[in-house]
């Protein structure tokens, strides 16, 4: 039986209840006014913790039992190890051993390495997942086999949901490349170094119980303490928390595709033509091949023009680190780290600022970094005529990606999506996106190899680039050209009425839903 749906402010029919809890339909950008106060964790006291600061217990099972793991609880993990995570699966294997059922797993993201969770979803150990389900888990959910409804949130939205008490974490498990017996932890040192641990910040602050798992125990104090031991209940030492070769995923190679290099170059040229390349400016570019290529074109322009950035928002990569070392940016603000040069620089260079979703992305804060960024370059699976974009589902209808920081980054002063005009002969610009992840009013520019479309809301950008040599077109024109090449619009996949996941907006409202494939 389908959930009761209501039409939200974006014209999408969305659920009003998620796994039994009330959900507010999306009201528009900046329209939802939260009332109430932040979540408040239980008051602890030192008398209940070892006075010598040693919180070690023999193993993860003991820690989970001591933390009171039981049916129906919410257990959270972070994804700084990306596809090299060796801890999350073990938590649920232990839960299975203990006969625990109906857990809610709240990862900051899941990767293909977490495919073994399907077994626990099928057996009932895990009731459902709230968090990015990249690859196999998204595919599993799309097939309608996950019992509960998935919830997709941005990095900032995850912080917001935890902070606001929308999601209560019973037990947070924080895998850490380095920690001390008190629970202070960081990601910059140790054999499994991954850079930051910021995605686990909310978990450490708001969970009832916090377990730190490390393969590199150092004497107190573990410095820097990206996670503070004063939030931690138990510390577990284990063989290996992450597979170093997979921690830094294969997303950090510059594209070799001539089309994508051209898109990257066009994007950099647009930025320059629009007058956004100013001394003291800031930008954020993800770790995808096109984004990296954009950063390199931008770097060349900066050198030619003697322009220096005030800061760049990472994921750090060797390309950003080079810019830092060459004095082209004063700071890198790191949210995560995509390669080992990034990890090393973050450890050794004090001009890396270790950030987290509270600082960068949380929409229910007194401002955040995302809206201060001059230029933000992001990807998308689809864009529609209203500049609305999709990042979670493929053209075949399967849920295959998480939102990451994407929604949060849309608040930058100029958000640009450099995307190929088609993939596998399927146009990327469509009448209406299959899954709405970002409202068009926040997406300023679409750059494809066949032309650039500027959102009509940004008359300033249209005016600034009017006399440039750039191939600027209306989005309708661009769409028509692409369809002509691809031979028309493709058929859309068939869905059932069953909602398998809700897509949250940065303020916790429901902007869209994902349905089961027929």
- Using CB under 8 A, which of 296, 372, 426, 486 touches a copy of itself? 372
55 binds a copy of itself (CB under 8 A): yes
Binding track over 306-325 against a copy of itself, x by CB under 8 A: ----xx--------------
**C-alpha span between 264 and 301 (Å, rounded):** 13
Rounded to a whole number of angstroms, the minimum distance from the CB of residue 499 to a copy of itself is 27
219 binds a copy of itself (CB under 8 A): yes
Q: Rank residues 86 and 179 by Cβ distance to a copy of itself and give the closer one.
A: 179
444 binds a copy of itself (CB under 8 A): no
**C-alpha span between 320 and 324 (Å, rounded):** 6
Q: Rank residues 5 and 39 by Cβ distance to a copy of itself and give the closer one.
A: 39
Give the pair of three-digit tokens for residue 223.
């410095």
303 binds a copy of itself (CB under 8 A): no
Q: Which residue, 293, 338, 333, 339, is CA-closest to 312?
A: 333
199 binds a copy of itself (CB under 8 A): no
Give the pair of three-digit tokens for residue 500.
């398998």
Contact 482, 285 (CB under 8 A): no
User: For 367, left (φ over 0), alpha (ψ -120 to 50), or beta?
Assistant: left
The answer, yes or no, to whether the previous bond of 224 is cis (omega within 30 of 0) is yes
Rounded to a whole number of angstroms, the minimum distance from the CB of residue 310 to a copy of itself is 6
364 binds a copy of itself (CB under 8 A): yes
Instruction: Tell me which stretch binds a copy of itself (CB under 8 A): 75-83, 228-236, 387-395, 437-445.
Output: 228-236
Rounded to a whole number of angstroms, the minimum distance from the CB of residue 65 to a copy of itself is 18
- Using CB under 8 A, which of 275, 280, 300, 477 touches a copy of itself? 280
Q: Rank residues 166 and 265 by Cβ distance to a copy of itself and give the closer one.
A: 166
Give the pair of three-digit tokens for residue 108.
């900051």
Number of residues that bind a copy of itself (CB under 8 A): 63
DSSP state of 503: E
Instruction: Tell me which stretch binds a copy of itself (CB under 8 A): 136-144, 230-238, 300-308, 429-437.
Output: 230-238
278 binds a copy of itself (CB under 8 A): no
* 3-class secondary structure per residue, 116-127: CHHHHHHHCCEE
327 binds a copy of itself (CB under 8 A): no
Q: Rank residues 265 and 334 by Cβ distance to a copy of itself and give the closer one.
A: 334
Q: Which residue, 363, 413, 319, is CA-closest to 159?
A: 363
**C-alpha span between 10 and 365 (Å, rounded):** 24
Give the DSSP H/E element, type plus range, for residue 96: helix 88-97
**C-alpha span between 293 and 263 (Å, rounded):** 9
Q: Which residue, 205, 223, 229, 192, is CA-closest to 82?
A: 192
368 binds a copy of itself (CB under 8 A): yes
371 binds a copy of itself (CB under 8 A): yes
164 binds a copy of itself (CB under 8 A): yes
Give the DSSP H/E element, type plus range, for residue 95: helix 88-97
Question: What is the length of the chain?
Answer: 518
344 binds a copy of itself (CB under 8 A): no
- Using CB under 8 A, which of 92, 411, 422, 505 touches a copy of itself? 411
Burial of 36 (0-12, 13-18, 19+ CB in 10 A): exposed
Q: Rank residues 145 and 351 by Cβ distance to a copy of itself and give the closer one.
A: 351
Instruction: Tell me which stretch binds a copy of itself (CB under 8 A): 114-122, 140-148, 223-231, 258-266.
Output: 223-231
Give the pair of three-digit tokens for residue 94.
């232990």
**C-alpha span between 453 and 468 (Å, rounded):** 14
Rounded to a whole number of angstroms, the minimum distance from the CB of residue 461 to a copy of itself is 16
Contact 91, 77 (CB under 8 A): yes
Rounded to a whole number of angstroms, the minimum distance from the CB of residue 93 to a copy of itself is 27
Q: Rank residues 13 and 441 by Cβ distance to a copy of itself and give the closer one.
A: 441
- Using CB under 8 A, which of 74, 76, 163, 407 touches a copy of itself? 163
196 binds a copy of itself (CB under 8 A): no
What is the footprint of a copy of itself within residues 11-50 (CB under 8 A)? 30, 32-47, 49-50
Dihedral Cα 229, 232, 234, 236, nearest 10 deg? -60
What distance lies between CA 489 and its chain's CA centroid? 30
Q: Which residue, 310, 297, 239, 300, is CA-closest to 268?
A: 297
> Looking up tokens 């958000």, which residue turns up?
415
Point out which residues bind a copy of itself (CB under 8 A).
30, 32-47, 49-53, 55, 163-164, 182-183, 210, 219-221, 223-225, 228-233, 280, 310-311, 331, 333, 350-351, 353, 358-359, 362-369, 371-372, 411, 413, 507
């Amino acid at each position: 039986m389908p959930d009761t749906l209501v039409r939200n402010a974006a014209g999408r029919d969305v659920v009003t209840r998620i796994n039994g809890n009330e959900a507010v339909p999306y009201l528009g950008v900046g329209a939802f006014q939260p009332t109430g106060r932040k979540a408040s964790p239980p008051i602890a006291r030192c008398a209940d913790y070892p006075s010598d600061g040693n919180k070690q217990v023999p193993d993860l099972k003991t820690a989970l039992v001591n933390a009171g793991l039981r049916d129906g609880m919410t257990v959270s993990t972070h994804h700084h190890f990306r596809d090299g995570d060796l801890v999350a699966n073990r938590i649920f294997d232990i839960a299975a051993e203990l006969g625990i059922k109906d857990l809610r797993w709240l990862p900051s993201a899941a990767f293909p390495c977490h495919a073994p969770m399907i077994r626990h979803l099928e057996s009932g150990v895990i009731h459902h997942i709230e968090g990015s389900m990249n690859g196999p888990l998204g595919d599993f959910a799309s097939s309608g086999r996950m019992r509960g409804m998935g919830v997709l949130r941005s990095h900032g939205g995850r912080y917001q949901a935890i902070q606001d008490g929308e999601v209560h974490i019973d037990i947070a498990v924080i895998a850490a490349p380095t920690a001390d017996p008190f629970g202070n932890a960081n990601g910059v040192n140790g054999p499994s170094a991954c850079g930051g641990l910021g995605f686990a910040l909310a978990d450490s602050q708001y969970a009832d119980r916090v377990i730190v798992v490390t393969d590199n125990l150092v004497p107190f104090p573990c410095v820097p303490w990206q996670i503070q031991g004063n939030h931690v209940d138990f510390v577990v030492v284990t063989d290996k928390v992450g597979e170093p070769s997979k921690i830094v995923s294969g997303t950090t190679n510059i594209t070799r595709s001539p089309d994508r290099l051209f898109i990257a170059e066009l994007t950099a040229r647009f930025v320059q033509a629009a007058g956004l390349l100013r001394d003291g400016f800031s930008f954020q570019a993800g770790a995808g091949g096109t984004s990296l290529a954009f950063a390199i074109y931008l770097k060349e322009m900066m050198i030619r023009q003697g322009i220096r950035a005030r800061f760049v928002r990472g994921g750090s990569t060797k390309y950003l680190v080079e810019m830092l070392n060459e004095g082209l940016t004063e700071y890198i603000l790191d949210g995560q780290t995509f390669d080992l040069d990034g990890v090393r620089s973050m450890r050794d260079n004090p001009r890396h600022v270790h950030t987290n979703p509270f600082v960068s992305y949380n929409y229910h804060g007194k401002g955040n970094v995302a809206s201060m960024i001059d230029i933000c370059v992001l990807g998308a699976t689809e864009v529609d005529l209203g500049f609305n974009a999709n990042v979670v589902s493929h053209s075949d209808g399967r849920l295959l990606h998480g939102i990451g920081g994407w929604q949060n980054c849309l608040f930058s002063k100029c958000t640009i999506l450099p995307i190929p005009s088609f993939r596998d002969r399927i146009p990327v610009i469509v009448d209406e996106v299959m899954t709405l992840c970002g409202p068009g009013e926040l997406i300023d520019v679409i750059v494809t190899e066949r032309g650039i479309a500027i959102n009509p809301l940004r008359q300033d950008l249209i005016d600034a680039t009017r006399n440039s040599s750039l191939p600027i077109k209306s989005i309708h024109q661009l769409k028509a050209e692409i369809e002509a090449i691809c031979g028309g619009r493709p058929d859309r996949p068939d869905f059932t009425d069953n909602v398998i996941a809700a897509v949250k907006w940065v303020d916790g409202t429901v902007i869209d839903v994902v349905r089961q494939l027929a």
